[in-house]
Amino acid sequence: MSLLKAKLEHTLPPIIDEIRAFVKEKAASEVSKVTLAQAYGGLRGVKGLVCDTSEVPPDKGLVIRGIELKNLTDKIPEEIFWLLLTGDLPNDEELADLQKEYKAREDVPGYVWDVLDAMPADSHPMAMFNTAILVMQKESEFMKAYNSGIQKADYWKPTLEDSLNILAKLPAIGAYVYRKRFGKGERIDTDKSLDWGANYTHMLGIPDDSGDFARLMRLYLTLHCDHEGGNVSAYSASTINSALSDLYYSLCGGLNGLAGPLHGLANQECLGWVLETMKQFNGAPTPEELEKFAWDTLNSGKVIPGYGHAVLRVTDPRFDAFLAFGKEYMPDDPVFQTVSRVFDVVPNVLRQVKKIKDPWPNVDAGSGALLYHYGMKEFSYYTVLFSVSRAMGICAQAIITRAYGLPIIRPKSLPTAKYKELCGA
Ligand code: CMX
């Protein structure tokens, strides 16, 4: 048995008992009210979901199991997955065991490559990536166990198996999507001696003699791992999961939401916006030029990608971490310098637009420039990197939800006429 499963078998039962007792005792306590504006406003701020893997306080940004992200940027993604799931960072033995589990499960079924090869050459990388996940659904251990009559209390166990099986394969799948979609040549085999992030870098095939690109990839995969339960990808995935659809269905569904330009696709849009400013002004623009460009974007009815957030009200700590990386590894890169200058200018512009609640950069504002620096210039691929990372949070949330035995998600909708009645209109 993996050490991760053994640890969860030991730690989950008392947590589950405590939650059951707490909910029983306080069942009638009110935790949120919903106004009409919220009902018609994407339920912003309405509390009614449970997520124990991470939280996003508006004034802090991502906190994973009580630890602020800024204190986790030196951790590798495997450590983060362990933390999301168990609430603790792994010791050396536990980390090595998780890495061994990934290695044992990383071979991708041949039919996945065939399906990807058969997709139209101009498919979006996210469509390819998500298709590869969905096409593996027949491998689901949860589905097999469910069909064999597994007890509800054990649902989390095959969900953990599905998680490990999927996470182990995502770097190879993601790397092949990159090589296939952008004509980079043959698929590169996995290197069993490398960790999850470095192996992904290796299979992408981008030259990295210094190891700095692998360093960035590990950071990237760590920073994008989870963002509590209410964002589009997490919420979509957990809704699908709550129907006892297995993780191949629910992860794919969640990541389809990540492919939207207001969510994860913003990182592709963001670098495009930065490069557009450089094209228009023949190089790194001055602050005045950037300010004008920002106003032109807003006045043409478009959003400034990489800025604003539904929950955050401060600079995203994930952006801070990327900015720090850029300052250390590529301070003279003109694209990075432009990103840095955009950060000096755009919040002041957005602050002047009354309706915008958060003028600060989010995770997507800076990451593209760093990838671009190392030669990954295909913007439409960037959300796949985000997905490989976010799969950790979605899987961890699914395992925990199954362990808690939470029911199918089914909030109530009403027609407008009923809301009018309710509001006395
Ligand atoms: N540029 C221009 N307008 C913006 C804006 C931005 N960066 N951020 C918010 N606004 C606008 C909204 O479009 C909205 O306008 P309308 O009322 O006309 O529709 C208004 O300001 C109020 O929005 P808000 O309450 O501040 O923000 P929301 O919670 O509705 O939306 C988000 C949040 C992220 C979708 C929005 O800030 C946005 O579109 N940002 C740009 C896209 C982006 O970077 N997305 C990535 C987010 C991180 C992630 O999920 O990956």
Model pLDDT for residues 274-298, shown as the tens digit of each residue: 999 999 999 989 999 999 999 999 9
Percent of the chain with pLDDT over 70: 100
pLDDT of residue 263: 92
Is 414 touching ligand 1 by the criterion CB < 6 Å?
A: no
**d(Cα 203, Cα 169) in Å, to the nearest integer?**
12
Residue 70 forms part of a structural domain: no
The average pLDDT across 380-402 equals 97
Percent of the chain with pLDDT over 90: 98
pLDDT of residue 125: 98
Q: Is it the case that residue 319 has pLDDT exceeding 90?
A: yes
Domain span at residue 297 reads 266-373
Same domain? For 254 and 278 the reply is: no
Q: If 0-12 CB within 10 Å is exposed, 13-18 middle and 19+ buried, where does residue 121 land? A: exposed
pLDDT of residue 267: 84
pLDDT band at 71 (very low <50, low <70, confident <90, very high): very high
Q: Decide: 226 and 396 in contact? Cβ < 8 Å.
A: yes
Residue 256 forms part of a structural domain: yes
Q: Is it the case that residue 186 has pLDDT exceeding 90?
A: yes
Same domain? For 352 and 233 the reply is: no
Alpha-carbon distances, residue 285 vs 102, 278, 329, 367 (angstroms)? 45, 6, 21, 19
The average pLDDT across 309-323 equals 96
Q: What is the pLDDT of residues 116-150, one digit of tens each?
A: 999 999 999 999 999 999 999 999 999 999 999 99
Instruction: Count how many domains the chain has.
Output: 2
**d(Cα 157, Cα 170) in Å, to the nearest integer?**
20
Residue nearest atom 28 in ligand 1 by C-alpha distance: 310
Residue 88 forms part of a structural domain: yes
Same domain? For 236 and 360 the reply is: no
pLDDT of residue 269: 87
Is 423 touching ligand 1 by the criterion CB < 6 Å?
A: no
pLDDT of residue 153: 97
Same domain? For 314 and 396 the reply is: no
Catalytic residue among 263, 320, 358, 373: 263
Return the best residue to mutate from 356, 379, 385 for the ligand 1 pocket (most ligand atoms within 8 A of CB).
Answer: 356
- Between 233 and 268, the more confident residue is 233
What does pTM read for this prediction? 0.95
Q: Is it the case that residue 322 has pLDDT exceeding 90?
A: yes
Residue nearest atom 21 in ligand 1 by C-alpha distance: 356
Same domain? For 286 and 164 the reply is: no
Residue 176 forms part of a structural domain: yes
Residue 56 forms part of a structural domain: no
Same domain? For 276 and 235 the reply is: no
